[in-house]
Amino acid sequence: MKKVSIITVNFNQPQATQELLRSIVAHTKYADMEIIVVDNGSIIDPIQELSAEFPDPVYIRSQKNLGFAGGNNLGVKKASGDYLFFVNNDTEFTAGLVEKLVHVLNNNPLAGIMCPKIMYHAQPAIIQYAGFTEMNFYTGRNKCVGQYELDQGQYDLPAYPTSYAHGAAMIVRREAIEKAGLMPEHYFLYYEEMDWCEKIKRAGYEIWVEPRAVIFHKESLSVGLNTPLKEYYMTRNRILFIRRNATAWQRLVFYFYFAIVLAPKHIFKHLFHKRIDLLNAFFNAIWWNVAGKDYKKLTD
């Protein structure tokens, strides 16, 4: 039996982490499993409170916020599983989730990363993720398969390959991590799992979805739905992802597209809605990419 390490990162959300752990206990019967909880520099250390109710998980406390990738990488270094299941602390498990994912991984050795179907917690009949389309490196765009659709079983097929995993819930083969390296920490928040997928695909593996395994996601609980923080990292890291993964020609076309199409669109939208805070975040994100950042270091 393959051992599964469930890794989740907490940042100032002990109640959400508590609810996740309760759902894991309630819905998981898998025999060989460990749970690792990384606290990512929360203002108040939640480990004593969490461990009082859940004594079995391994708890790790970082003194500072290392970002999504940095926090998860701390968990990887402690994990002993053959399969590492990264789940946001704002998710909730359903019955048989782990067992279904493990079954597909056991029977598909080329699957390096696999995700369940992700549903919106607030609207449990609405799909958030059933896969991703390929990235258009000229525009920096792709689409989330099934997002906002009513779930009528249209994706409940046998597990299938897709282009990218979703960072809210992804189970990764240890051998794939050993070949591709840890999750890239340049991003801090957003796009790191897409970059990691590119590295894992280059290492010879595929990205898969098992839509008959389901998890619920409390989307944007940590950063909000429309905040300067989200605007900054989504913009900054979209550019960074292209810098790290596109060809020279694709990058050139993307920069032109960004300057002529995307930037004016964002500027007009934020001015129209009088969101100067979002406009400042947008400009700061662009500036981060052009203000002397070491390209070679960021593409290592």
222 has pLDDT over 90:
no
**In the predicted model, what is the mean pLDDT of residues 237-254?**
97
The CA-atom distances, in angstroms, between 192 and each of 57, 69, 241 are 25, 7, 8
pLDDT value, residue 298: 57
282 has pLDDT over 70:
yes
User: pLDDT digit string (tens) for 119-145?
Assistant: 999 999 999 999 999 999 999 999 999
Q: Are 72 and 38 in contact (CB under 8 A)?
A: yes
User: pLDDT digit string (tens) for 67-81?
Assistant: 999 999 999 999 999
What length does the chain have? Answer: 300
User: pLDDT digit string (tens) for 194-206?
Assistant: 999 999 999 999 9
The domain locations on the chain are 4-217, 228-298
What is the three-class DSSP state of 285? Answer: helix
Burial class for 99, CB neighbours closer than 10 Å (0-12, 13-18, 19+): middle
pLDDT value, residue 220: 61
- The closest of 141, 200, 189 to 165, measured between CA atoms, is 200
User: pLDDT digit string (tens) for 12-57?
Assistant: 999 999 999 999 999 999 999 999 999 999 999 999 999 999 999 9
Domain 4-217, CATH 3.90.550.10 — does that match?
Answer: yes
Interatomic CA distance for residues 210 and 34, integer angstroms = 22
H helical segments located in the chain = 14-27, 47-53, 67-78, 97-107, 174-180, 192-202, 228-245, 248-257, 263-272, 276-290, 295-298
pLDDT value, residue 189: 87
**Between 12 and 292, whose confidence is greater?**
12
pLDDT confidence bin for 219, thresholds 50/70/90? confident
pTM over cut 0.85? yes
**In the predicted model, what is the mean pLDDT of residues 280-298?**
80
221 has pLDDT over 80:
no
- The closest of 232, 128, 233, 240 to 195, measured between CA atoms, is 240
pLDDT confidence bin for 286, thresholds 50/70/90? very high
Q: Name the residue with tokens 């002529």.
A: 260
